[in-house]
Amino acid sequence: MSIVDHSRQDDILVLTINNPPVNAFSPGVPEGLKAGLDAAASDDGVRAVVIIGGGRTFVAGADIRTFNLPRDQAPDLRGTIEKLDAFGKPTVAAIHGTALGGGLELALACTYRVAVPDAQLGLPEVKLGVLPGAGGTQRLPRVVGAQKALDMMLSGTPIRATEASQLGLIDRIVDGDLLAGAVEFARELAEARPLPRISDRSVPGARPDVFAAARVGITKTHRGQLSPSLIIDLAEMAATTPFKQGWDAEAGKFMQAKDSPQSRGLRHLFFAERESAKIPGITKDTPTTDIRRAGIIGAGTMGGGIAMNFLNVGIPVTIVETTQDALDRGLGIIRRNYENSAKKGRMTMDDVENRMSMLTPTLDMADLNDADIIIEAVFENMDVKKDIFTRLDAIAKPGAILASNTSTLNVNEIASVTKRPESVIGLHFFSPANVMKLLEIVRADKTSDTVLATSMALARKIKKVGVVVGVCDGFVGNRMVHRYGDEARKIVEEGARPEDVDASMNELGLPMGPFQMSDMAGLDIGHAIRQHQAKVRGEPKPDGWLDRIVETGRKGQKTQGGIYDYDETRKPRPNAEMQKLIEDYRAEKGIVPREISQEESTQRLAYSLVNEGAKILEEGIAQRAGDIDVIYIYGYGFPAYRGGPMQYASEQGLKNVVADLEKYGQTPAPLLKRLADEGKTFADFDAEKGRA
């Protein structure tokens, strides 16, 4: 079977794309399609052509791995599209599964399109920092109108074939056999002339205000990103210039986007997320446990959020608290969260009741004896957690997974109090746990392969991105954020204002700077962590300017005041008294404030993350630099288009990062220094480790 198979059904030539698993536009596919069209053109017995995907889908887009190829080696999708558009016989795209990206562009270049009802059609290129580069920006607006085309291209969200049919994007829905229906449709229209070409149409609803509104919209939804702006420009060209002019412009703007650091960052994330699921020693044959029931200890904000993840996928939950008031309060929050979702149309009230019916509240930990996994989600106190795990030894059934949601504490120490340390693992959910995608999976020294493999499978089931990390204080994410916070406080000590430090990271693309994040999390939380760390290290009690703010009773958003003041909108406003407290602190410590530029603030903060990340890699706490990037994007809001802190550093040049760290008085990690000296990147480190 060739990559594009040719077969005849009497007067219809069928071209079947066979490039599993998703029929991506890899080398060979365009050539096979062109050869098929040439064969059809030269055969008078062929009246029409049907293009269909073999296997489970039509065409799910370009092969992203080919984006780095030189232009003359990359698959010639645009040439195939041009050949289709100029073809002298009717062509029908027969769509099942997905027609995404280049797949939809291929279908748009055909004369007609038919699809099964549940097929998905979309142009998701914006998610990779690029844009439709084979006519999508010019053809889609001509079919569905300016507004809908912009919605589809800027969100990257596919639509069902049934909706596409209502928009005129699909000419016929086929309920039965797709190929038979497509051949029948092609035969019906084989003699229809002139052939309708989308490139000959104008754009419906192409008012100037549509494009103006889109430009305003992306300042909120795609702040700082290049490709959305280029997409709007090209869609407007579709409305205001001849097709050929827009087609030619699209090619140049596609290359501009593809070669940008933003696209490299998003493509890096795409592959890093997939690599993060690979764990040395864990294979598809590693046995896993079927999780049919979960137990949660603690019905607070975190415990309730964790419970919702299980309820959302149909796994019953038993949730334990120490008092009835705490239990009632926790259940009330879960119900309100679901009811708010119902008010927004995301579920029905029947869905709310169904999920709540799967939740069993109790004050007795013994009621967890039938759970396949038990997750402890109480406050960060080692003695409390060890007491819980000691009791679980006598309660949990054999084979049950015993997990701690600790964000900083030593999972090995927690496991040591049980008679089954192989069953213990850390599952660090991020707050709010029912929203945040990241799950740090903490592999303790004695965690079994089965428990680890089950935890990874569970992460996928509850729609989390699971990343395996090792045991250290703060694991990966919080260990790095603690160093980041230290540097942020130091920058303010030296003369910057908190709002300027936050602004530097907002400009980098983070939704919250370090102090905005601290106020949201609660200043008392960070204060307690700093005290704990000082105690562990045998250091004096922390007495920084931020600790003094906490001692005034200001704890952040929850008290309407922390570093900033807050009203009901939760928008931070600088507080003059807190600024004076900082100035008094500097005077007391003999610190002469200096002007600190936004560039210095950005570099010191971003590179503090990178430097700590390099140490984490050296210690083997994280498997890959890409894993760190996934953690920071999905757990801490690092902008996806930057690719994560490690990818961002590679884009800046590791030699430059090392030089700047030294300039600001930080000691570069040995791994970072070595990679810089060798002219390498963190991607090179990951590749070397993968080959080892």
- Tens of pLDDT, residues 247-275: 999 999 999 999 999 999 999 999 999 99
Asked whether residue 15 carries a pLDDT value surpassing 70, the answer given is: yes
Given CATH 1.10.1040.50, say whether it is the number of domain 600-620+622-691: yes
Looking at every residue in the chain, the average pLDDT score rounds to 95
- 463 to each of 153, 439, 542, 557, how far by Cα in Å? 24, 10, 39, 29
Average pLDDT over residues 2-30: 95
Task: Give residue 30's pLDDT band: very low, low, confident or very high (50, 70, 90).
Answer: very high
In whole angstroms, give the CA distance from residue 131 to residue 152. Answer: 12
| Distance from chain centroid for Cα 92 | 35
- Tens of pLDDT, residues 426-438: 999 998 999 999 9
Domain 4-259 and domain 496-589, same fold? Reply is no
pLDDT of residue 692: 42
Q: Considering the chain, what percentage of its residues have pLDDT values greater than 90?
A: 90
pLDDT of residue 616: 98
- Tens of pLDDT, residues 552-597: 999 999 888 999 999 888 899 999 999 999 999 999 999 999 999 9
Q: CATH classification of 4-259, choosing from 3.90.226.10, 3.40.47.10, 2.70.98.70, 3.40.309.10?
A: 3.90.226.10
pLDDT of residue 166: 98
Question: Do you find a cis peptide bond into 432, omega within 30 degrees of 0?
Answer: yes
- Tens of pLDDT, residues 184-240: 999 999 999 999 999 999 999 899 999 999 999 999 999 999 999 999 999 999 999
Given CATH 3.40.50.720, say whether it is the number of domain 294-474: yes
pLDDT of residue 1: 61
3 state SS for 238-304: HHHCCHHHHHHHHHHHHHHHHCCHHHHHHHHHHHHHHHCCCCCCCCCCCCCCCCCCEEEECCCHHHH
SS3 state of residue 683:
helix
Q: In which element (H, E) is residue 493 found?
A: helix 477-494
**Which position has the token pair 């080892």?**
692
pLDDT of residue 7: 96
- Tens of pLDDT, residues 64-98: 888 877 777 788 899 999 999 999 999 999 999 99
**One-character DSSP codes across 55-96:** TT-SB--B-GGGGGS-TTTS--HHHHHHHHHT-SS-EEEEE-
* Domain ranges across the chain: 4-259, 294-474, 496-589, 600-620+622-691
The length of the chain is: 692
SS3 state of residue 142:
helix
Partner residues linked to 319 by β-bridges = 296, 361
Q: CATH classification of 496-589, choosing from 3.90.1200.10, 1.20.140.10, 3.40.50.1100, 1.10.1040.50?
A: 1.10.1040.50
Asked whether residue 628 carries a pLDDT value surpassing 90, the answer given is: yes
Lowest pLDDT segment from 102-116, 149-163, 509-523: 509-523
- Tens of pLDDT, residues 285-314: 999 999 999 999 999 999 999 999 999 999
- 278 to each of 65, 400, 427, 627, how far by Cα in Å? 19, 24, 17, 10
What residues act catalytically? 105, 125
In whole angstroms, give the CA distance from residue 451 to residue 43. Answer: 61
